[in-house]
Structure 1
Amino acid sequence: MTVDTTAQVAVLRELAGYTTTQGIPTLFAPRAGNEITAGLFFRVGCADETLATAGITHLVEHLALHRIGLSDAHHNGATANVFTLFHVTGTETEVVAHLNSVCASLRDLPLERLETEKEILRTEAAGRSRGVNQQLPLWRYGAQGYGLSSYSELGTWRLTPDEVRWWAQTRFTRDNAVLWITGDHVPDGLDLTLPAGRRIPAPEPSSALPQTPAYIGGDDGQVVLDAVVRRSTAASVFSDVLGRALFRELRQEGGYSYAVDADYSPRDAGWATVTAFADALPQKQDAVTGAFVDVLARLRAGRIEPAELESAKAKALKSLDGPDVAARALPSWALNLLMGHEILTPDQHREQIAAVTVEDVRDVAREAWSTALVQVPGRDLAWAGCASAPQFSEAAVAGTRHPSLEDDRVTLVIGAEGVSLTMPDGPVTVRFDRCVAMAARPDGARVLTGPDGFRVEVEPTLFKGVTPERIAAIDAAVPTGAVVRLPPREDVPRPRP
C-alpha cells in the first residue's frame, strides 16, 4: 500500500533539503569531500514492458547517455525491474553538464543510433551473468511483469523509432522522476526540462503459481529460495538471520556448501523479495537440500538463537552510524518517494530495528515459507510440503496434428485458437489471443510464448506436415504487436535418428 506523498515530503524536509527542479522533486544533503554525486530516478523499468518490447527502457537509457561520450566524471545508468537511474559523480560543473545532457537527450533521443544501440544491448546481454535467481521469476510471475527479468531483451530485434520515442515521452517525464544530490544546495545551471506526465505506479504482480510453497527442478549444484514478504524492518532482519543460519549450518557445521547467502530486496511499495542460495557438489546435493529446508523449518518454529538475532540487528544499526548518514540515505529516500513507500528517519529506523523480536522473525519466516518457490537440483520437495510448479497446460487445442519426426510420443497441434505440444505427461499450450511474443525465423520456425511462461516451438523440419500454409495460418492469428522477427539461423535443426 502506498503512503501519502505529502507525508513523505514532510518527513524529507526534516531529514534533508527538499525542493523541486523544473518540476522534479529534489532531495539534497551534504557529504564530505570535494565532489558530489547526483542520481536521477525514473519510475519505469523492465517490469513495465511486454515480452515483445523487452529492452525498450534499457534502450532509452543507452540513447540518453550516448551524447555524453567520454567524461572525467564517473557516470553510468541502470535499468532495474521498477526504476531507471542515471547517476554521476564529479565537480558541480561536471554534474550539471551531465544531468543537463541526459535530459536534453531524453527530450530528443538520438534515434539515428537506434540500430547500433540494439546491437550493443545484445552484445551486453551475451556477456552478462544472469545470477543464481535467473529462473524463479519466470516460474512465479510468468512471461510478464516481474517475470520478464528471466528473459532476454527480445524487443531489441523489433522496436521502431516511434515506439522508443513514445516510451521516452510518456515514461521519462518530470512527474515520474525524483532527483537526489549529495551537496548542501542544488547547483546552479541545471536544466532538467522534461515533458509533463504522471507518476506511474509499479505494475501489479501476476502469478503463474496456483499454490505455494512450490518447487521446480534446476541445475545441479545449487538450491535457491525465492519468497515474497511484506516490506518491513523485521523482514530485512529476517533475511540476515536466514543468511547467518544457512552459513553456519551448511558451511561451518555441515561442510556441505561454500557459497551461502540471503538477500532482502524491495519489489514495489508494499512488498519485497527474499532470496537465499546455497551451492553444493553433486554428491552433497541431497544433504544441502535437506539442511536448507531444515534451517527454514527451524526459523518458522521460532528456534532462533539470541546471538543470531542480535548480530543481525547490530549489523543493521551499524549501517545507520557514522558521518554523512543523510547523504548515504538519499538514494533510498528518493526511491521510496518515487515508489510511495514510507520514509523513516534514522531514529525511527533505529527504534524499529531495536524492537524486532524472535517472534517477529518467526512470523516473517512463516510468511516467507507460505509464498516460497524453491529451485532444487533435480529433486522434488513434496516431502517438505511443497507442490510442484505447473509443468503442463490444462488442455490442448483442437486442430491439425503433426507427429514429431524424432519422438512418436510427441505431437504438435495447430488449431484455430492456438498451438499445443502434446507429450506423454501432458500438453503445453499457447493460445493465439494470449500470445505475448512470437519469435519468427525466415526458415518458418516459430516460438510462441504465453503469459504463464509456457512456450511452444514450431519447427517445420522436426514435425510432419508443417507446411508453409500452416505457418501462414499461425502468423495470421497472432497479434501483430507480439511478433518479433529474428534473423536467419546458421543451422536449421534436422531430425535426430
Structure 2
Amino acid sequence: MHRDQIDGVPVLWAEAPGPLEAVLMFGSGVRDETFRTLGVTHLIEHLAMSTLPRLHHDHNASVDLGLTQFTATGRPEQLVEFLAKVCEALGALPMERIEQEAGVLAAENSSVTDPTTAELLSIRYGIEGPGLASFPGPGPDRIPLEAVRETAARRFHAGNAVLVLTGPPPAGLRLPLPAGDRPDRSGQSPVLQPGPVWQQAEVPGPGLALLCDLDDDAMHLAVNVLRHRLTEVVRHQHGLSYDVGGDTVYSGPGRGERVLCLDARPGQEQRVAELLWQEAVRLATEGVTAEELAEEVEAAREVFEDPRSVVYELGEAAGELLLGGQYREAPERLDAMRAVTPDRARAAFATALRSALLVVPHEVEVGLRQADGSELPQGSCTAQAELPRGGQVFRPSLKDRLRWSAARRTRLVVTGEGLWSSHSDGSVHHLPFADVVGVEIQGPGRLVFGRGNCWMPVLPDVFQGIGPAVRAIDAAVPEALRYPASSFNSAD
C-alpha cells in the first residue's frame, strides 16, 4: 500500500486487476447527525452528484453510519474529471436544487443498514449516534437549510477526506476541496442499554448484538465460529432459516457492535431466536475447538490473498484513518489470528455476551437463561412505577373509553418536567422535556420524540382537550426542534 497526498488529502493506493477505481471518502455519516437533521449527509451527497454531467463510466455515491463515499471506475482521465467535479460541487453546493433532491431522497427511501441491526442499535444507543439508523427522521423536506450549509462546511473538506485508488494517481489529478480540521473522533457513543436483555421490536427476524473491542482478533474469530455453527444448526439441521447475516458497527475508536441477524420461516421466529441464544451461550461456556479456529483463519487467508480484496483493504485503511482507528496490514492481522487460542476466544466471547441484546419480532415471546443459569431479562423503554401526582391529566374521549377497555386505562400527564403516559398493560413511561430531540407538528397535535428511544403521541384522536398539553410542549421545547410533518408523508 502506497501513501501520497494531493491538495492536502491523503491518497492510499495499491495495484489491483481491472480498470482504475477511485473512492473519495469522507468521515461523515448518519451517526454524526441529530434526529432533527437526519438525512442531511445524504442530501449533501445528492446535491453534489446532481452537478455532474452525463458520464459514460461507472460512478456512484453512498452514505452509511460513519462514512460518505464517491466512487468511480474507468480510464484515468475520466476519474480525474469525476473527482475534480465532485470536489468543486462540495465546495459550492447547488442549494437551489434542495427541493428536487429532497423529493429524490423520499423516492429512494434508503436505509443505512438492515432493519434488525437498526433496531438493535436504537435499543443500545437511543435516538442518537448509531441509534439513528432505525429512524426516518422529520423527512428530507424538513432538513434545515442551515444544517446543510453547516454540515458541508464542517465535514466535507480536505481535512476529513481520504482518496483510495487501485493504481498510481493519474496525471493531472486535483482534489479542490476547502481546507478544514479533522473532527475529533476520540469519544464513544453513549450507551443507553448495556444489556444483557431480550426485547421485542419491529424486525423481520431475530438478531443479536454484542458490544466489544472490534480490534480483538479472538472475538472476531469467535463470532465467525458462532455464525458457522448457527448456519449448520438453524439452516442445515432444522431447515428454519436461509441466511445467517453478520455486521460490524463502529461506535468509537476500537469499540462497536458485532451483530448477527437471522431470517426465519413464517411461524418459526421463536424457535430460531431460542437456537440463536442457546448456541451463543454454548460458545461462551464450552468454547471453541482448535479446528474451528484453524478453519476461520484459513478462510481469512483465502480472502486476504484474493486480488479482488485490494479495494476492500484500501477502504479499511481509509476508514480507520478517518474514524480515528489503527489499521493493521492483512499479514499482521492473519498472524494475530493464528495466535488466538480456544481459551482466548471463549473468554472474549463470554465477556461480550454480558452486553448481549437479543431482539425478536413483536409477537414472539421467549424464556431464556444466561450462562450462569439466571433468567435473561426482558428490556423495554424506560418505565416508571406510577404516574406523578399533580400536573395536567388528559384521557381518551368518552366515546373511546366506552368502546375500548384499553382506552379506560390510558392517561397522559403533563408536568413542568415533561410528559408521562400510562398504557393499557399498566406500564408508565416518562419523557423529560430535557431529553426531547424532535417535535413533529401534526395540525393541532404533536408527536414528541425523546433521546431514550421513546416517542409519545399528543394527538386529538388519542387524547381529548390536548390544547394545554400542546402549549406546554411548545413552551418547553426549543423552536429549532419543532417542525411540521413532512409533505411526503401520507395522511396515515
Contact 1:247 1:261 in 2 (8 A): no
Q: Name the counterpart of 1:399.
A: 391
1:110 positional shift: 0.3
Match of 1:330 among 314, 318, 340: 314
Secondary structure of the residue that 1:416 maps to in structure 2?
Answer: coil
Q: Name the counterpart of 2:277.
A: 293
Deviates most, 322-331 or 369-378: 322-331
Q: Structure 1: how far apart are the matches of 2:176 and 2:78?
A: 15
Distance change (3 Å), C-alpha of 1:21 and 1:199: farther
Q: How does 1:101-112 map to 2 (within 5 A)?
A: 101-112=85-96
Q: How does 1:95-174 map to 2 (within 5 A)?
A: 95-125=79-109, 130-154=114-138, 156-174=140-158
1:130 positional shift: 4.2
Distance change (3 Å), C-alpha of 1:31 and 1:264: same
- 2:63 pairs with 1:79: yes
Contact 1:251 1:257 in 2 (8 A): yes
Distance change (3 Å), C-alpha of 1:86 and 1:411: same
Q: Structure 2: how far apart are the matches of 1:282 and 1:327?
A: 38
Contact 2:297 2:334 in 1 (8 A): no
TM-score, length-scaled by structure 1: 0.88
Q: Name the counterpart of 2:329.
A: 345
- 2:220 pairs with 1:228: no
Secondary structure of the residue that 2:49 maps to in structure 1?
Answer: helix
Q: Name the counterpart of 1:414.
A: 414
Q: Name the counterpart of 2:378.
A: 388
1:129 positional shift: 8.4
Distance change (3 Å), C-alpha of 1:21 and 1:418: same
Contact 2:115 2:204 in 1 (8 A): no
Contact 2:24 2:163 in 1 (8 A): yes
Q: Name the counterpart of 1:471.
A: 470
1:429 positional shift: 2.1
Please list every run of 5 or more consecutive structure 1 residues that lacks an aligned counterpart in the other structure: 1-15, 493-497
Secondary structure of the residue that 1:425 maps to in structure 2?
Answer: coil
Residue type at the aligned position of 1:24: V
Q: Structure 2: how far apart are the matches of 1:328 and 1:465?
A: 58
Q: Name the counterpart of 2:34.
A: 50
Q: Structure 2: how far apart are the matches of 1:396 and 1:117?
A: 45
Q: Structure 1: how far apart are the matches of 2:111 and 2:337?
A: 39
Q: Name the counterpart of 1:457.
A: 457
Deviates most, 74-83 or 122-131: 122-131
Distance change (3 Å), C-alpha of 1:258 and 1:193: closer
TM-score, length-scaled by structure 2: 0.89
Residue type at the aligned position of 1:474: I
1:240 positional shift: 1.6
1:76 positional shift: 1.3
- 2:5 pairs with 1:20: yes
Q: How does 1:252-271 map to 2 (within 5 A)?
A: 252-271=236-255
Question: How many residue pairs are counted as aligned between the two chains?
Answer: 473
Deviates most, 327-336 or 365-374: 327-336
Distance change (3 Å), C-alpha of 1:258 and 1:155: closer
1:382 positional shift: 5.1
Q: How does 1:28-67 map to 2 (within 5 A)?
A: 28-33=13-18, 35-67=19-51
Contact 2:116 2:203 in 1 (8 A): no
Distance change (3 Å), C-alpha of 1:60 and 1:303: same
Deviates most, 226-235 or 151-160: 151-160
- 2:352 pairs with 1:375: no
Secondary structure of the residue that 1:242 maps to in structure 2?
Answer: helix
Secondary structure of the residue that 2:118 maps to in structure 1?
Answer: coil
Deviations 1:258-303 (A, max 9, x none): 3323344444421132111233335534432332222112211234
Q: Name the counterpart of 1:13.
A: none
Contact 1:43 1:83 in 2 (8 A): yes
Q: Name the counterpart of 2:433.
A: 432
Q: Structure 2: how far apart are the matches of 1:224 and 1:103?
A: 39
Deviates most, 97-106 or 149-158: 149-158
Distance change (3 Å), C-alpha of 1:383 and 1:320: closer
Q: Quick one: percent identity of the two aligned structures? A: 25
Residue type at the aligned position of 1:355: A
Q: Structure 2: how far apart are the matches of 1:325 and 1:184?
A: 17
Contact 1:298 1:304 in 2 (8 A): no
1:189 positional shift: 3.6
